[in-house]
Structure 1
Amino acid sequence: MPASAQRVLGFDYGTRQIGVAVGQTLTGNARPLKELRARDGIPDWEQIAALLREWQPDALVVGLPLNMDGTPSEMSARAEKFSRRLHGRFQIPVHCVDERLSTFEAKQTLRETGRGTPSSYRDNPVDSLAAALLLETWLASQKEHE
């Protein structure tokens, strides 16, 4: 990748699953990678370490599930804690991005492609797609600041 291009991993934090996506700043595109299982919001940190070794990202992005009026929610506080732990464990810059409606948009996208009915989200998980959408939001905001 050119010197100005950065690879970024995005995380859609949840208490049972954490969606992961990869993107890069040159194109501003992201794609879903996988869902990680979590127990009460705590991931298998070794799975995250393995992803970081594989993709060697320059930065990480965590979605903040704010309330519709923009105020913090209980889940956004948990997502912020997750982002602090990511930074503390792996010493990679972590950025948070407003992810309001990303899961809704991901479900809508799956429905529009014919892969998304409530019973099929197990076969077509929505969390990694939501991670890709929130990562693309962050990537677009970086292009605006150039």
Structure 2
Amino acid sequence: MTHTRPVFFSRVDAWILAIGPVTGLAAVGMALPPALRSGATAEVAVLGIVLASTLILPIWLLLDTHYTFTADTLRVHCGPFCWRIALAEVTEVSPSRSWVSSPALSLDRLRIRYGRGRSILLSPREKQRFVEQLRPQCPHVLVTGF
């Protein structure tokens, strides 16, 4: 029998939603005029690659940033990136508003400390429910700021 685990999707700040289209438009605005003037196939190909990467990656991150608990790990997915954090190594959970790059699409974040001085920032939409799911699996965890 398969036991489904709850998936916690990332909260998404409005300003993050704007970054993708703005970046894509800026890339087109800078690359299109020279590519059209030269007419070179190589430049048009480079433009296509730039456009694809500036549009596909942000969409992938927006659609596929989530956090899932398994029996012994916290799985963090952010587009093509994945982390597996052993629940036995989780030592502390606290609120954060850090701007540090992380698999979180909001500044309303949780800092998960684990291992030897490591941490990761997450932004589950349902922070309280996320912490409630974590506590029984990590009874030793220090939860602060709630």
Name the TM tier (shorter chain): under 0.3
Higher RCO (Cα < 8 Å, 6 or more apart): 1
TM-score by length of 1: 0.28
TM-score by length of 2: 0.28
